[in-house]
Amino acid sequence: MTGWDISPFEPDGLRVAPLRPPVLPEPARHGEDAADCNICRARDEGLWFSDRWRLARITGVGVPLVLVLYPRDHYDMADLTDEMAAELGVLTTHIVRHVQALPHISRAHLYRIGDGAAHLHIWFFARPQGQTQLHGSWLPVWDDLLPEYPADIADADATAVADALVASYGGRRSAADSWRPS
């Protein structure tokens, strides 16, 4: 993968870490018990809400915008009802459309990893227009390597996405600017 023209790393000098032996049983993910889940405790924090979902912005990132969609109650992907799974598909599509409608964004990448926390969370990364080296599976790595994107632009973009989501999907935006980090 370092030979791909989108890799943030030069292949010379990199080496593969040895594969460690399996750990069985596997350690619990954070929040396996809903009573200990930080994501559940933050169920009323974010920039957009419906009765069952919330959208939050991750700050201090290198790409223009990183959003995370969570169910407000404690669910993992396999735990979703068919109705919530259908909502997730429609809602995800709306968010992607609104992120890609931002004038300086070409694509919205989305990721669900599933090993870090037991509470479902879907990541949306905005790839800036013209930055084709940032496309593909390396985008989250680039995000960690790039200098912090200007917060005022990211705040405005997050607000635009939340407002568009209210108009196209429903729900409500958080109280004016209460979602912004202090």
Quick: pLDDT tens for 94-121.
999 999 999 999 999 999 988 889 999 9
* Nearest one of 97, 167, 105, 96 to 134, comparing CA atoms: 105
Q: What CA–CA distance (Å, rounded) separates 70 from 150?
A: 25
Task: Delineate the domains of the chain, giving CATH numbers in brackets.
Answer: 34-173 (3.30.428.10)
pLDDT bin (cut points 50, 70, 90) of residue 179 is: low
Quick: pLDDT tens for 131-173.
999 988 889 999 999 999 999 999 999 999 999 999 999 999 9
Quick: pLDDT tens for 7-22.
888 888 788 889 999 9
pTM: 0.92
